[in-house]
Structure 1
Amino acid sequence: MKELFNQLSYGLNASEITNKNKQLIRELLTCDIIKFYKNKYYLKNGFTFGKIDISANGTGFLESFDDAFKRDLLIENKNLKGANYADIVVAKLLPIKKKRPSAKVALILKRAHKTSLVMTKKYGEAILGINIQTGLTCALKASQKSLKVLPLGTILKIENHDNNITEVIGHIDDDFVDEKISLALFNKNAIFDNLCENEARAYGNEVDASMYPSRKDLRNLNFCTIDPIDAKDFDDAIYYDKNEHAIYIAIADVSAYVHAYSAIDKEARSRGFSIYFPHIAIPMLPRSLSENICSLKPNEDRLAFCFKISLDQNNEVIKEELFEAIINSKRRFNYDEVDEYLQTHEDLGVINWLYEVFKITQNLRKKRLKNACEFKTQELRMTLDKNNKLIKTRLENDTASHNLIEDCMLLANKAAAKLINIGVFRNHLSPDYKKIDQLLADLSTLSIDINPKNNIIELFKDIQILANELNIREEVDKLIIKAQKKAEYSSENAGHFGLGFDKYTHFTSPIRRYSDLILHRLLKAKINNDEKMFNYLLLNIQNTCEELSLLEREADKVAWHFMDRKFARWAKENVGKRFKALVIENQSSLQVKLNDEIKGALITIIGSNANLLENVEVEITEVDIVGAKIFGKITKHFSLERNQNV
Structure 2
Amino acid sequence: MKEFLIRLLDGLSEKEISSDHKETLRNLLNLGAITSHNNKFYLNNGFVCGKLDISSNGTGFLMPFDKRFKQDILIENKNLNNSHYRDIILAKLLPLNKKRQSAKVVLTLKPANETSVVYTKHFGRAILGVNLKTGLSIALKATQKSLKALPIGTLLKINNLNNEITEVIGNINDPFSDEKISLAIYNKNDKFSEASEFEAKAWGDSVDASMYPNRADLRELEFCTIDPIDAKDFDDAIYFDEKNLEIYVAIADVSEYVSSYGAIDKEAKTRGFSIYFPHIAIPMLPRSLSENICSLKPDVARLAFCFKIKLNKNLDVVGEELFEAIITSKKRFNYDEIDEILEDKRASEIFWIKPLFELTSNLRAKRLKNAFDFRTEELRMSLDDEGKLLATRFESDSNSHRLVEDCMLLANKAAAKLIDGRGVFRNHGTPDIRKIENLLQDLASLGFDFVYESDLANLIRKIQAQADAMGNREEIDKLIIKAQKKAEYSAQNLGHFGLGFDRYTHFTSPIRRYSDLTLHRLLKAKMKNDKKLFNYLLLNIESTCASLSELEREADKVAYDFMDRKFARWAKERIGQRFKAYVSENQNMLVAKLDDEIKGARIYLNSYSAELLQKLIIEITDADIASGEIFAKVVKKIDV
Tell whether the structures are fold-level matches, with TM greater than 0.5. yes
**1:125/1:499 Cα in 2 relative to 1: closer, same or farther (>3 Å)?**
same
Match of residue 496 from structure 1: 496
After superposition, the Cα gap between the structure-2 partners of 1:324 and 1:629, relative to the gap in structure 1 and judged at 3 Å, is same
Distance 2:30 2:172 in 1: 43
Which residue of structure 2 aligns with residue 441 of structure 1? 441
Of residues 42-51 and 608-617 in structure 1, the stretch that sits farther from structure 2 once superposed is: 42-51
- CA positional deviation for 1:183: 0.2
Paired residue type of 1:369: L
Distance of aligned partners of 1:36 and 1:429 in 2 relative to their CA distance in 1, 3 Å threshold: closer
Q: Residue 371 of structure 2 aligns with which residue?
A: 372
Distance of 1:33 and 1:400 partners within structure 2: 57
Match of 2:517 in 1: 517
Identify the residue that residue 644 of structure 1 maps to in structure 2. none
**What is the match of residue 529 of structure 2?**
529
Which residue of 2 is the match for residue 299 of structure 1? 299
Structure 1 245/14 Cα, relative in aligned 2: closer, same or farther at 3 Å?
closer
**Is 1:250 matched with 2:250?**
yes
Q: CA deviation at 1:299?
A: 0.6
**CA offset at residue 7 of structure 1?**
4.3
1:407 and 2:406 equivalent? yes
Tell me the SS of whatever aligns to 1:515: helix
Q: CA separation in 2, counterparts of 1:498 and 1:121?
A: 48
> How far 1:610 moved relative to its partner?
1.2
For residues 207 and 191 of structure 2, what CA distance do their matches in structure 1 show? 26
Moved more, 237-246 or 553-562: 237-246
Aligned match of 2:478: 478
Looking at structure 2, the residues matched to 319 and 37 of structure 1 have their Cα atoms a distance apart, in angstroms, of 52
**Residue by residue, what CA displacement relative to the aligned partner does 1:69-92 show, whole Å, maximum 9, x if unpaired?**
111011111111111111111111
- Aligned partners of 2:325 and 2:368: how far apart in 1? 32
Alignment gaps of 5+ in structure 1? 641-646
Distance across 1 between alignment mates of 2:69 and 2:268: 39
Superposed CA deviations along residues 592-632 of structure 1, whole A, max 9, x for unmatched, are: 00010000000100121111110111111001111111000
Task: State the one-letter code of the partner of 1:446.
Answer: L
Identity, in percent, stands at 63
**Match of residue 144 from structure 2:** 144
Q: 1:43 maps to what in 2?
A: 43
TM-score (norm. length: structure 1):
0.97
1:389 to 2:388 alignment: yes
Deviation of 1:3 (Å): 3.8
Residue 220 (structure 2) aligns with: 220
SS in structure 1 at match of 2:430: coil
Q: Report the number of matched residues.
A: 639
Take 1:395 and 1:374, find their aligned partners in 2: how far apart are those partners?
A: 18
Distance 1:35 1:487 in 2: 35
Distance 2:481 2:542 in 1: 26
Determine whether 1:103 maps to 2:99: no
Give 3-state SS (helix, strand or coil) of 1:9's partner: coil
| Distance (Å, rounded) in 1 between the aligned partners of 2:442 and 2:105 | 37
Q: How far apart are residue 99 of structure 1 and its match?
A: 2.1
In structure 2, relative to structure 1, the CA distance for the partners of 1:19 and 1:247 (3 Å cut) is: closer
Matching residue of 1:359: 358
CA distance in 2, matches of 1:39, 1:411: 45
CA distance in 1, matches of 2:6, 2:460: 35
1 CA distance for matches of 2:14 and 2:272?
33
Alpha-carbon offset, residue 138 of structure 1: 0.8
Q: How far did 1:16 drift? A: 5.2
Equivalent AA in structure 2 for residue 375 of structure 1: F
Q: Which residue of 1 aligns with 2:318?
A: 318
Task: Summarize the Cα distance change of 1:228–1:40 in structure 2 as closer, same or farther, 3 Å threshold.
Answer: closer
Counterpart position of 1:417:
416
For residues 269-315 of structure 1, give each alpha carbon's deviation from its aligned partner in whole angstroms, at most 9, with x where no partner exists: 11100000000000001111111111111111111110001111111
Offset at residue 504 of structure 1 (A)? 0.4
CA–CA distance in structure 2, aligned partners of residues 153 and 232 of structure 1: 34
Shift, 1:8, TM fit: 3.7
Whole-angstrom CA distance in 2 between matches of 1:326 and 1:39? 53
Q: Does 1:190 align with 2:190?
A: yes
**Shift in Å at residue 345 of structure 1?**
6.5
Q: Residues 138 and 464 from structure 1, CA distance in 2 versus in 1: closer, same or farther, beyond 3 angstroms?
A: same
Matched residue, 1:130: 130
Distance 1:220 1:37 in 2: 65
Counterpart of 1:122, as a letter, is H
Shift of 1:366: 0.2
| Equivalent-residue separation in structure 2 for 1:306 and 1:113 (angstroms) | 38
- Residue 617 and residue 34 in structure 1: after superposition, are their counterparts in 2 closer, same or farther (change >3 A)? same
2 CA distance for matches of 1:374 and 1:218?
A: 34
Amino acid of the residue matched to residue 569 of structure 1?
R
| TM-aligned CA deviation for residue 395 of structure 1 | 0.4
> Counterparts of 2:387 and 2:23 in 1: how far apart (Å)?
46
Q: Does 1:34 align with 2:27?
A: no
Distance in structure 1 (CA, Å) of the matches to 2:525 and 2:239: 26
- TM-score, normalised by the number of residues in structure 2: 0.98
Aligned to 2:574: 574
Shift of 1:17: 4.7
Q: Which residue of 2 aligns with 1:202?
A: 202
CA drift of 1:144 comes to 1.0
Q: Deviations over 1:567-610 (max 9, x none)?
A: 00000111111111110101100000001000000010012111
Q: Name the counterpart of 1:76.
A: 76
- Supply the AA of the counterpart residue of 1:545: C
Q: Is the 8 A contact 2:18 2:540 kept in 1?
A: no
Q: Hey, what's the Cα distance between the residues in 1 that align with 2:209 and 2:14?
A: 55
Cα RMSD after superposing both structures: 1.3
How far apart, in 2, do the equivalents of 1:387 and 1:472 lie?
Answer: 37
Cα distance in 2 for partners of 1:8, 1:339 equals: 53
Q: Deviations over 1:535-577 (max 9, x none)?
A: 1111111110110000000000000000001000000111111
Give runs of aligned pairs for residues 160-199 of structure 1, distance below 5 A.
160-199=160-199
Question: Helix, strand or coil: the match of 1:478?
Answer: helix
Q: Which amino acid aligns with 1:110?
A: K
Distance in 2, matches of 1:577 and 1:150, equals 34
The alignment partner of 1:632 has SS state of strand
Partner of 2:309, secondary structure, is strand
Shift of 1:28: 2.3
**Do the aligned partners of 2:130 and 2:138 also contact (CA within 8 Å) in 1?**
yes
Query: Alignment partner of 1:181: what SS?
Result: helix
